[in-house]
Chains A and B, each alone.
Chain A
Amino acid sequence: MFQLDTDNPTLRLIVRYMVLTLIALIFVTPILFMMMSSLKPDQQLLADTSSIKAFLPIGDISFDNYKAAFERAPIGMFMLNSLLVTGVTVVLGLLVCSMAGFSFVFLNWRGKSIAFSIILATLIVPFETIAIPMLLMVSKLPWLGLDGFSWGWLNSYRVQIIPFIADGLTIFLFAQYFKDLPKELIEASRIEGCSWWQVYWRVVMPLSGPIIATAAILKFLAMYNQYLWPIMVTQQEQYRPVLVGLQYFFQLNTAWGEVMAYLTIITVPVLAFYLALQRAFIASIASTGVKG
């Protein structure tokens, strides 16, 4: 029977890299399939799915699917909408949720424990169960904008942003992280005369890079992948995000090459965002045990 010679460092390294390569392949192959398929005509794409060819740039390769995808749907507008909604929500969300977390950890106020429990309880409520009550609310809310006073938030960016700025998971993540910060640091800052705002902004937040990155990635993904809410609240094309745009490609005879081209295009911002923050994200997981 084969026995692994655990004393041989070279063999250990080889085995380790083989396992890691296998795991990496599991995650990379769907993306590779998507990208390679986006370069092939439909007939070849479908014929290749049952073989290794599906992952290789061989055959009749071109960017025709990308050209057709841009002709079929206003991709630039959908991307811009998604990035705007996601970007604003992430920035405001990090600010609001970190403040809430700070308040729960460092400030003393009546009902704090109950409020925190209620916020934690929202984590187990699926969005689908509150979507309709939320729809009824936002359709009747007032708004004062540049064009004056109006009722109802439907068909706007604000209806896609404001309800999602604060969320239980992000508050929880910040609160957990803040709990592990040295109390002495906070006390010393207070003794030195810092206001609570200064403690938050000048002491706590600069020490919170990893959790900011983690929360930003998680919130970015949640917002960028929004589908149900936008189809409920945006009847006008000008406000639709990328995932609603994906539906433009599913017709009676679906053009799969175009679907893959569109998916490749809309995956780029997610990958770029993750790659930009991955060091801090990994540091956060390593230091707090938080899993995404």
Chain B
Amino acid sequence: MKITKKLALTMLSASVLGSAFVSTSAFAKTDLSLWYHGAGNKVEAKVINQIVNDFNNSQDDWNVVLESFPQGSYNDSVVAAALANNLPDILDVDGPVMPNWAWAGYLRPLLIDEAKIADFLPGVKGYWDGKLYSIGLWDSAVAMMTRRSTLNEVGARIPTIDSPWTEEEFNDVLKKLKATGKYDYPLDLGMAESGEWFPYAFSPFLQSFGGDLIDRSTYKTAEGTLNGPEAIAFGEWWQSLFVNGYAPGNSQDPADHETGLLEGKYAMQWYGNWAALKNLNKFGDDALFLPAPDFGHGPKIGAASWQFGVSSASKHPQGASDFIEFALQDKYLAAFSDSIGVIPPTQSAAALTKNYRQGGALAVFYALSKAQALVRPVTPGYIVEAKVFEKALADIADGADVADTLDSAADEINADIEKNRGYSR
């Protein structure tokens, strides 16, 4: 009986000591809050949870606590939290929005070894004001999606990254496709989408014409770039797409945008890599993902998707940066790609994926990102420029005078820059 009592006491003491040890090590860890935009996406949640768990188990200093937000309301939640001085340690940010958040003081530069991201696609590196504020675990790309048989039928050349369609060739293809009478429209631009889609998908056309949303040499004016001769040429071409009946306009039925190419209502679709798999499933080897046409100043597509940054409110920027650096491992980049179809930002990660490895079904998108990607203007004023550009393009599609509309847009952007004192710090 005595022995049993002693044994019980010894076990009790051991367990108390053990628990004390465990709690001490648990207490030694400092919590880092992480906000992420992927609520509602189960597969994406699985990957981000895996990264968080692996990081928490890999060291004894930091314990990352994840809070997921739905993407549609994420930016508003972050801005509100910044106003209420309630930002987390780590947050993700949409690439083109990053300069605004950095300028507004929501973000601080990352404390990571930049040599580790040397071979990342340029679109995923969030530099502003000469400093790295954010880094993405993936990129996205847009391509001209169609079918080989569709182009063969009208005798169109299949363009390549090295030899994309010229403006004349592209217009000729649209004309011939229209003439077949088989399609409601030859081209689906995705006008049923709204918001960021317009600057992301369509400003590269403007840039390929030689214009831009803003003069990138100073980021102080849109005069001459958004309403100069090149921009007006772009605007007139843009309007011609709708006047000639080549593309559905602002009133496009979202259902048609979702299924029009698959059902044969549209001959081609200007859309992103996230929609590519359904084309492959439907058309198999007949599916084509073609580069952007070259309108005179080189073919361009948009770049920069969601990226991780460290908030200026974080009391532990080193720990927060350590987490981000940890997440940059190829296995996680590949896991995101395999789960949600995004483009891995490194060649070595692409090699680990199902679709983006050499010879993979979507490898062309990695090549497109590498060859044609141009980040949207890297300026805090971008969020206003994007909205102004969207409205201008919608108005021009509806028949507004091109020169007047672009003049007004340039004025509006300049007024915003002036109101914010040049967005200087």
A135→B70 contact, CB < 8 A: no
B375, chain A: closest CB distance, angstroms: 19
Contact with B along A48-70 (1 / 0, CB 8 A): 01100000000000000000000
B119 within 8 A of A: no
Known A235-B67, A237-B68: A132·B39 in contact at CB below 8 Å: no
A232-B77, A237-B67, A244-B70 given; A50·B35 CB < 8 A: no
Cβ contacts under 8 Å, A73 to chain B: 39-40
Segment at the interface with B among A174-182, A209-217, A248-256: A248-256
Known: A49-B255, A231-B73. Is A252-B274 also a contact (CB below 8 A)?
A: yes
**Are A235 and B40 in contact, with the CB atoms below 8 A?**
no
User: Residue of B at shortest CB range from A244?
Assistant: B73
Contact check, B71 vs A139: say whether CB atoms are below 8 A apart.
Answer: no
Q: Which residues of A contact B255 (CB under 8 A)?
A: 46-47, 49-50
Give the tally of cross-chain contacts (CB within 8 A).
80
B258 within 8 A of A: yes
**A43 in contact (CB, < 8 A):** yes
Asked if B86 and A47 make an inter-chain contact with CB atoms under 8 angstroms apart, the answer reads no
Nearest-CB distance from A24 to chain B (Å)?
26
Question: How far apart are the CA atoms of A244 and B73 in the complex, in Å?
Answer: 8
CB contact under 8 A between A71 and B70, given known A49-B253, A253-B274? no
B118 at the interface (CB under 8 A from A): no
Residue B20 at the chain A interface, CB threshold 8 Å:
no
Instruction: Tell me, yes or no, whether B42 is within 8 Å of chain A by CB.
Output: yes
On chain A, the residues within 8 Å of B272 by CB distance are: 252
**A233, CB-defined interface residue at 8 Å:** yes
Q: Is the CB of B84 within 8 A of A136?
A: yes
Q: Which secondary structure characterizes the binding site on chain B?
A: helix
**Contact present for A253 and B275 (CB under 8 Å):** yes
Whether B259 is near chain A, meaning CB under 8 Å from some CB there, is yes
Interface size on A, residues (CB 8 A): 33
Q: Given A135-B84, A237-B68, A253-B275: A71 and B42 within 8 A (CB)? A: yes
The 0/1 profile, CB within 8 Å of A marked 1, for residues 240-259 of chain B is: 00000000000001010011
Q: Interface size (B, Cβ < 8 Å)?
A: 31
- Given the contacts A46-B255, A46-B258, A50-B255, A247 and B40 also touching, CB distance less than 8 Å: yes
Measured CB to CB, the closest approach of chain A to B271, in angstroms, equals 11
Return the contact of B86 from the options A50, A139, A237, A247 (Cβ within 8 A).
Answer: A139
Say yes or no for B113: interface residue by CB 8 A criterion.
no
Cβ B80 vs Cβ A135 within 8 A:
yes
Task: Evaluate contact between A235 and B259: CB separation under 8 angstroms.
Answer: no
Task: Assess A247 versus B72: contact at CB under 8 Å? Given A136-B83, A154-B84, A233-B80.
Answer: yes
The smallest beta-carbon distance between A42 and chain B, in angstroms, is 8
Give CA–CA (A256, B72) in the complex, Å. Answer: 15
In the bound complex, residues from chain A placing their C-beta under 8 Å from that of B73 are 227, 231, 244, 247
Taking the complex as formed, is B384 at the interface, i.e. its CB lies under 8 A from any CB of chain A? Answer: no
Expressed in whole angstroms, the minimum distance between the Cβ of A278 and any Cβ of chain B is: 32
Other contacts beyond A154-B86, A232-B80: 14, CB < 8 A:
A43-B259, A46-B255, A46-B259, A49-B253, A72-B42, A139-B84, A152-B86, A231-B77, A235-B67, A247-B72, A248-B39, A249-B40, A250-B40, A253-B278
Name the 3 nearest CB pairs between A and B, nearest first: A248-B40, A247-B70, A139-B84
